Amino acid sequence: MPRSGTTKKRIRQNIKRRLRNRAARGVVRAQVKKFLATLEGGDAAARQAELKSAIRTLDKAAAHGVMHKNAVARRKSRLVAKLKKAGAAPSSAAPAPQA
């Protein structure tokens, strides 16, 4: 057991932060699952909307320090790749110029 007041406080802080981070990661997981579900059965507009929402949630997690920014970038990249594979290119991507 901790003896000093500062170690007791650190334990309290760590518990609060852990719970907050777990909740935030749960929101991210739920949003990504929602997007993946629309890949199988949704129309193109729904896919775009869910991808945008998932990316926004991931970005918020990175901004608040819940997830590392490179892990978020990797996950966003994989989600966009899945969307492209499903047949709907993201609207933010510009078409490739013809040479």
Cβ contact 33:62 at 8 Å: no
pLDDT digits (tens, 9 = 90+) for 28-84: 999 999 999 999 887 889 999 999 999 999 999 999 999 999 999 999 999 999 999
Assess whether pLDDT exceeds 70 at residue 6.
yes
CATH of 5-86, one of 1.10.510.10, 3.20.20.70, 2.40.30.10, 1.20.58.110: 1.20.58.110
Kindly indicate the confidence band of residue 2, based on its pLDDT and cuts at 50, 70 and 90: confident
Predicted local confidence at residue 42, as pLDDT: 75
CA torsion 8-14-17-21 (nearest 10°) is -160
pLDDT value at position 65? 95
Instruction: Give the whole-angstrom CA distance, residue 69 versus residue 21.
Output: 15
Give just the sign of the alpha carbon dihedral 82, 24, 64, 67: negative
**Is this prediction's pTM over 0.85?**
no
